[in-house]
Structure 1
Amino acid sequence: MVEPRTFRDEPVSFVRRSGRMSDAQERAFEELGPHYLLDVPRDIAWTSVHPEARLDLADEYGRDADLYVEIGSGQGHAIVAAASARPDDDFLAVEVFRAGLARTMLDADREGARNIRVVEANAPEVLSSYLPESAAAEVWIFFPDPWHKKKHTKRRLVRQGFGDTAARALRDGGLLRLATDWEDYALQMREVLDADPLFERAFDGEWADRFDGRVMTAFERKGIAKGRDIRDLVYRRRSRP
């Protein structure tokens, strides 16, 4: 008899931190969750996605529109701004930190952005199985955890093999947009994706221009204040055979 798994097969790119949420954040889950928060069937961990779970986009959003997915959406500043400015597009925020998800829902509700959903889940599992294949027009990864200690770099989200995961979720010609303020991680991202046959560069020169659809956040300002260069990359998903 095969014993059930107890742990994930791959290291995750986050450490799930728990902390007491404010009353407003708790109310966000209770009052706004029914509209914004996806109810995901779980596998072996709270942030996992059951391998048989599938998201029905038309049913969830009530229409057929271009989908933009942000991985590690944090407090939701970038995705809420985009959803508010582009009501004809749909947006999905993928995050594991509950306080950030609460803030995203509160801000989306304040801005009247009804075209956004949030999911509390491990991003590779969302991209590799939960989303329909070719569902996303773009996938955004802005300032992922750099795991800068050498012994921890295996936890980085963008590492060898990630291209297959992202490419599955992207439609042909869809864009993978990345940004980081850690030079060695930027170099790793570029090396991994340059070598991936499923992607091609959508920029000229060493680095892409700053994505003008990304709002300037306190996190990005902090990196600039510390003298770090902000590196943008953008790759296009090659057409399927």
Structure 2
Amino acid sequence: MIEPSRGFRERPVSFVRRSGRMSEAQERAWSDLSARYVVPVERDVAATSILPGTAIDPAETFGRAARLVVEIGSGQGHAIVHAAGADPQTDFLAVEVFRAGLARTMLDADRAGIGNLRLVEANAPEVLRHLLPEGSVDEVWIFFPDPWHKKRHTKRRLVDPTFPPIVAQALRRGGVLRLATDWEDYAVQMREVMDAATGFVREFTGDWAPRFEGRVLTAFERKGERVGRDIRDLAYRRVATPGA
């Protein structure tokens, strides 16, 4: 499904946002905690869009100036809640389109007493392009994005040749993009795309980066390993482009 637009989306989104019921606990979490954790955004046409020209001030959003890590496709929030709890000096922003996952993230963050985490319910490229100021992000994490493994669906993959300029805009010079997937052909595609991208250099030698120590081992990753899929990491540093 491609959400209706006025032309602000040039390609299919990397998700299919189905309407699903949240549990009672998730509904309560959204009602009780969203004012604290969820960043209010102005929409364009679609329910998950970001209106151009409506960037936030991260220091105002978090109440301080600090390193900022953005996780795209945060799912149930296991990785980012763990990271935020382990590194209270850094601010974390979870980007997800599925409200039930955001509600679960808020529940876990609230139980852990985490204050350095905020959430955005939106399409990730629009968050990077319109919501976050240029050069405001220290790291972007994309862990286990939907592989869209059927050939007719691969055009929906998030990391394609259109993606590097978008993430480069949000990352500061010296900032890092971290990627991980358990789908081999998507890992190869990611590597090819990022190796060819202007303004990025590898942060690893050989075929793949070492496993990122800051990524907590989740049930999803364990499941991939159980069925015999290798986990592949990549890391790229944002560098100045010629003439910049």
Fold shared, TM-score > 0.5 on shorter chain: yes
Tell me the amino acid that sits aligned with residue 212 of structure 2: F
Q: 2:51 corresponds to which residue? A: 50
- TM-score between the two structures when normalised by the length of structure 1: 0.96
Instruction: Provide the secondary structure at the position in 2 that maps to 1:11.
Output: coil
Q: 1:183 corresponds to which residue? A: 184
Runs of 4+ deviating beyond 4 Å: none
Q: 1:78 corresponds to which residue? A: 79
User: Residue 197 of structure 1: CA displacement?
Assistant: 1.5
Deviations 1:202-227 (A, max 9, x none): 00110000001000111111110110
User: Residue 7 of structure 1: CA displacement?
Assistant: 7.7
Tell me the amino acid that sits aligned with residue 219 of structure 1: F
Q: 1:160 corresponds to which residue? A: 161
Q: 1:233 corresponds to which residue? A: 234
Residue identity (%): 67
Tell me, in whole angstroms, the C-alpha distance in 2 between the residues paired with 1:62 and 1:138: 19
Task: Summarize the alignment of residues 188-199 of structure 1 with structure 2, pairs less than 5 Å apart.
Answer: 188-199=189-200
Q: 2:61 corresponds to which residue? A: 60
Q: 1:36 corresponds to which residue? A: 37
Instruction: Provide the secondary structure at the position in 1 that maps to 2:109.
Output: helix
Tell me, in whole angstroms, the C-alpha distance in 2 between the residues paired with 1:9 and 1:188: 20
Deviations 1:111-165 (A, max 9, x none): 1111000000000000011101111110000000000001110100000120000
Residue 6 of structure 1 contacts residue 44 of structure 1 at CA under 8 Å; is this kept in 2?
no
After TM superposition, the structure 1 stretch with the greater mean CA deviation from structure 2, 5-14 or 57-66, is: 5-14
Residue 8 of structure 1 contacts residue 44 of structure 1 at CA under 8 Å; is this kept in 2?
no
Structure 1: gaps (5+ residues): none
Deviations 1:29-56 (A, max 9, x none): 1111011001110001000001121111
- Taking only aligned residues, the RMSD between alpha carbons, in angstroms, comes to 1.1
Tell me the amino acid that sits aligned with residue 214 of structure 1: R
Tell me, in whole angstroms, the C-alpha distance in 2 between the residues paired with 1:238 and 1:44: 34
Aligned residues: 238
Deviations 1:17-76 (A, max 9, x none): 221111110111111101100111000100000112111111110100000000000000
Instruction: Provide the secondary structure at the position in 2 that maps to 1:79.
Output: helix
Q: 1:150 corresponds to which residue? A: 151
Tell me the amino acid that sits aligned with residue 211 of structure 1: F
Tell me, in whole angstroms, the C-alpha distance in 2 between the residues paired with 1:27 and 1:6: 36
